[in-house]
């Protein structure tokens, strides 16, 4: 088959959603986007449609690679890559991956990062073939339906997303996944909320929703190892009882025990955080 690629910015939002959904048919985790979900993804993940590409085979759009870029850091992230069933196993993935890497080099990027589901062996094999190396395993957790508990009033303080982003840049783990990085947190706007209790900090999605996502958890260096993060989690959950709490599989494995001590259960899906130096 003959392959070419075209900037995703040349396509309408409905057309991009169609290509994306066809690219993730029979995926290991069910995925189906509508235009609103896709728009939210572009905004939240900082995806640049001019840098992103649509794969065309025999004049048909049949794949997509969504790219987020941080020009000042000369880093890009492959936020999503999907191929329609008709071209899988025909060399399309390898051709497209090389094209995306070549584009990154032309932009002057020094590195490209991504996350891939550990159980998705074909994708993992493809990325390793093109030089991506694993940085760390990423885990997800869930906790359902906690009722209100007695808590110390006034112990939990709301802070700005910008403030916690600055703290992450100072004290966060090196090479944090893109979505957990200081830059991503500082770009968030309400309804996500940030809280502080002592030397521990947390960012959550809209606490009024039935399902609340934890987007960041940080403890200042002098307080680590003393249970502050687990204590903060319990307080936040007590302030917003009856919710389902979800930690997406983008949190470094070394933070796992914090969530387990707070009553979370580890999910079956895990990911590899990967990097390619260009």
Question: What are 46-71's pLDDT values in tens digits?
Answer: 999 999 999 999 899 999 999 999 98
pLDDT given at position 12:
98
DSSP string, the chain: --EEEEEGGGS-HHHHHHHHHHHTTT-SS-----HHHHHHHHHHHTB-TTT-EEEEETTEEEEEEEEEEEGGGTEEEEEEEEE-GGGTTTTHHHHHHHHHHHHHHHHT-SEEEEEEETT-HHHHHHHHHTT-EEEEEEEEEEEE-PPP----TT--EEE-HHHHHHHHHHHSPTT--GGGSHHHHHT--SSSEEEEETTEEEEES-TTSSEEEEEEEEE-GGGTTTTHHHHHHHHHHHHSTT-EEEEEEEEEGGGHHHHHHTT-EE-S--EEEEEEE-
Q: Judge whether residue 97 has pLDDT over 70.
A: yes
pLDDT given at position 149:
54
pLDDT band at 1 (very low <50, low <70, confident <90, very high): confident
Mean of the per-residue pLDDT values of the chain: 94
Q: Which fold has domain 140-273?
A: Aminopeptidase (3.40.630)
pLDDT given at position 189:
86
Q: Judge whether residue 221 has pLDDT over 80.
A: yes
Q: Name the percent of the chain lying above pLDDT 70.
A: 96
Average pLDDT over residues 76-97: 96
pTM: 0.93
Query: 3-109 and 140-273: same fold?
Result: yes
pLDDT band at 146 (very low <50, low <70, confident <90, very high): low
3-109 to CATH, choices 3.40.630.30, 3.40.50.80, 3.40.50.2300, 3.40.50.720: 3.40.630.30
Domain ranges of the chain: 3-109, 140-273
């Amino acid at each position: 088959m003959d392959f070419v690629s075209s900037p995703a910015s040349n396509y309408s939002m409905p057309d991009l959603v169609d290509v994306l959904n066809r690219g993730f048919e029979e995926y290991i985790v069910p995925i189906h986007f509508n235009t609103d979900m896709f728009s939210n993804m572009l905004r939240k993940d900082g995806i640049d449609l001019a840098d992103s590409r649509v794969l065309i085979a025999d004049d048909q759009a049949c794949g997509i690679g969504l790219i987020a870029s941080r020009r000042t850091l000369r880093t890009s992230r492959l936020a999503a890559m999907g191929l329609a069933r008709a071209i899988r196993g025909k060399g399309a993935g390898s051709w497209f991956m090389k094209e995306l890497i070549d584009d990154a080099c032309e932009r002057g990027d020094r590195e490209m990062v991504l996350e891939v589901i550990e159980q998705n062996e074909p994708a993992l094999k493809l990325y390793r073939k093109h030089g991506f190396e694993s940085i760390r395993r990423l885990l997800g957790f869930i906790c359902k339906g906690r009722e209100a508990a007695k808590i110390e009033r006034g112990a939990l303080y709301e802070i700005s997303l910008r403030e916690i982003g600055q703290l992450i840049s100072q004290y966060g783990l090196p090479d944090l996944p893109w979505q957990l990085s200081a830059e991503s947190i500082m770009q968030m706007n309400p309804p996500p909320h940030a809280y502080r209790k002592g030397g521990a900090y947390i960012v959550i999605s809209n606490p009024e929703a039935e399902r609340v996502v934890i987007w960041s958890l940080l403890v200042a260096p002098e307080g680590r190892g003393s249970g502050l993060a687990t204590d903060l989690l319990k307080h936040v959950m007590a302030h917003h009882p009856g919710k389902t709490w979800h930690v997406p599989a983008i949190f470094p494995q070394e933070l796992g025990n914090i969530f387990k001590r707070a009553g979370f259960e580890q999910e079956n899906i895990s990911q590899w955080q990967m990097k390619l130096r260009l």
